[in-house]
Structure 1
Amino acid sequence: MADSVLIEGLVVETVVGVYDWERKVDQQLLVDLEMAWDNRIPGASDDVNDALDYSAVTERVVSCLQALRPQLLEHGAERLAAELQEVFGIAWLRLTLRKPGAVPAAQAVGVRIERGAR
């Protein structure tokens, strides 16, 4: 199956980073998700109950990262991927987590992981 559900450019305000000053302020993280999902069923039924609820996924992403307050993007990505797969039954996902402004010469730094099997 090659179907996916996408969430791109989700902004999450949370504590992130390893430096003392970073542990005292909220910063932006940008989240992109591609999640394997069989879209044939909701495509045929036109019933929201057959679809992956991207609103619920979005809420879970925000709550997970805000509660986690990761020091490392790698840790945030791993924990978030595991939670999304467990809660929503997502077999495969690609997750990109970016931290804008972390390096002055770059728009953002980040990590991209893929977990599970398509």
Structure 2
Amino acid sequence: MDKVLISQLKVETVIGIYEWEKQIHQQLLIDLEMAWDNGPAADSDDYQYALCYETVSNRLVELITEKPIELIETVAEMCAKCVMTEFDVPWVKVKVMKPGAVPSASAVGVEIQRGHL
């Protein structure tokens, strides 16, 4: 299985359940693994057959920042649905990390997998 990867996409957004969190921007780090047949793009050296990681990244930043969200679980689910429906990706693994959320941890997060290989 081929994959297209995005590692530690930084997103500054309003995220959290506490009132003070709803007043500030916090950073999320997003990792994605997306199933994609890279063969046609590699064989032809033609961009039209590639899954554009820049376009996916820009869309996810737009999606995550368009309104306040309380849970990182919601962010992960939104990302997975967006990638699968808007970019026709059959399987995706999404990891969302929230640095500094717990003082004794460098980051906390969730990871989900959706779709079929």
Q: How many residues align?
A: 117
Extract unaligned runs of 5+ from structure 2: none
DSSP 3-state at the match of 1:111: strand
> What is the CA–CA distance in structure 2 between the aligned matches of 1:74 and 1:115, rounded to whole Å?
13
Extract unaligned runs of 5+ from structure 1: none
CA contact (8 A) 1:68 1:76 kept: no
Alignment of 1:1-118 (within 5 A): 2-118=1-117
CA positional deviation for 1:84: 1.4
CA RMSD, 1 decimal: 0.7
> What is the CA–CA distance in structure 1 between the aligned matches of 2:103 and 2:113, rounded to whole Å?
27
Equivalent AA in structure 2 for residue 111 of structure 1: V
Which runs of at least 4 in structure 1 moved beyond 3 Å after TM superposition?
none
Sequence identity, in percent? 47
TM (norm. structure 1) is 0.97
TM (norm. structure 2) is 0.98
